[in-house]
Structure 1
Amino acid sequence: VDKINHFSKVPEDRTAVDNILRVNHGNQMRLNLMADAKANIMITVASVVFSVAIANLDNELVKWPLLTFAFGCFFALLFAIFAIIPKTDYPKDITGDIDRKSPIFNPLFFGHFAHLPIDEYKEDYAETLMTDDSVYDAMAGDIYGQGKILALRKYKFLKWSYMSFLLGMISAVIVFVLQGPFGDVVLDGASNILDVIIGELNF
């Protein structure tokens, strides 16, 4: 499928167009840096908490809460690592080579042009620079590619990482409360409530 130039009707030499592309691209870069920073923070925190939890499993009083928290930290660590693993897929043709005519081929993205010989890369780059609309098209494609990776990969895994850590922490507190002196009271109360509900349903 050949590329379609959606920017052929955009007037050239418009400062507003240049500004919005620059701002949009800058925002994407900042979001990318923020995602990496948050993932690195979670990797550090989850690693430390996981290590401390595993090291104190011999304490019978907090064994099960710590094991529960360690379980959540493990998945938080795993998802945070997935969030920062580089994704450099590229469009391929039927022979398995990079498809330069694909609509998603981006001559500005290293994951794509790294698979081209330097002469072909320069040829594509020169063609991109020929007109303003082709530059707009390349910039929009680059912004779209970055946004897709951010939304469907980095921030998705980052959300799962923070949720795993939070659920692990909450579950650890619940386990600690249930195994403490109030555990029997809570379980008895829950059992009585369940019996009442079942009785009402049967009635």
Structure 2
Amino acid sequence: MKINEKGSHLDHLLRQTRVHHVQLSSMADVKANMMLTLASLVITFSIRYLTDPILRWPVFALVFFCLITIFAAAYAVMPKGGRQEPLDPKRPNGDILFFGNFVTLTYDEFVSAMEIVMAEPGQVYEAQVREIYELGLFLATKKYRYIRIAYAMFILGLIVSGIVFLIVELTMVVQ
């Protein structure tokens, strides 16, 4: 990465962007926790109505969508698993600043990779920009995507449950 002029304004920009991303990640965790709690409470309080002949199907629909909400919210906050492709300590072209990427290196390899990055200001900025980019990508494609799914499933569950309740009620009135 070519930097024409070093300055505190660049450091401030990168620091502020990183802080913003971390705050967004924290907000996503709180939202996912809210959805987990809410859906769990709805299931807990609704389950006893499954034996009621009028409420059985609306409650079943609500519980079904709450379970999907719980799975989506839990997946949103679940740490990324699997083995990362090992970084080459001689050419740290991956995100060397993210712990999930450098855990495959020994301490000495990590220090060597950091020395390469810190040898030139342009590489320092590139490492920070790469970290910001990958964190933003992770937030957009995983955390917020699955939180949106959790919210949508919960709302859809309420709507479907209400419609099923109306159908059951109208069917009972006709009979």
Global fold match (TM > 0.5): yes
Partner residue, 2:2? 8
Distance 1:109 1:43, change over 3 A: same
Deviations 1:71-99 (A, max 9, x none): 1101000000110011156652xxxxx13
Partner residue, 2:65? 72
Out of 121, 124, 144, the position equivalent to 1:135 is 124
Partner residue, 2:155? 166
Partner residue, 1:153? 142
3-state SS of 1:180 partner: helix
| 8 Å CA contact retained: 1:178, 1:184 | no
Deviations 1:88-140 (A, max 9, x none): 56652xxxxx132464x111100011111010001111222222211101100
| 8 Å CA contact retained: 2:87, 2:105 | no
CA distance in structure 2 between the aligned counterparts of 1:89 and 1:131, rounded to whole angstroms: 32
| 8 Å CA contact retained: 1:109, 1:142 | yes
| 8 Å CA contact retained: 2:87, 2:102 | no
Partner residue, 1:3? none
Could you tell me the TM-score, scaled by structure 1's length?
Answer: 0.79
- 2:101 matched to 1:112? yes
Deviations 1:152-194 (A, max 9, x none): 0010111001000000000001111111148768xxxxxxxxx
Distance 1:127 1:90, change over 3 A: farther
Which residues in structure 2 correspond to 1:1-203 (within 5 Å)? 7-12=1-6, 14-87=7-80, 92=85, 98-100=86-88, 101=91, 103=93, 105-181=94-170
CA distance in structure 2 between the aligned counterparts of 1:183 and 1:16, rounded to whole angstroms: 69
CA RMSD across the alignment: 1.9
Matched-pair identity in %: 30
Could you tell me the TM-score, scaled by structure 2's length?
Answer: 0.90
State which drifts further: 35-44 or 47-56. Answer: 47-56
Uncovered stretches (5+) of structure 1, i.e. residues with no partner: 1-6, 93-97, 186-203
3-state SS of 1:57 partner: helix
Aligned length: 172
Distance 1:176 1:42, change over 3 A: same
Tell which structure's C-alpha radius of gyration is larger: 1
Which amino acid in the other structure matches residue 9 of structure 1?
A: I
Off by >6 Å, runs of 4+ in structure 1: 182-185
CA distance in structure 2 between the aligned counterparts of 1:147 and 1:90, rounded to whole angstroms: 21
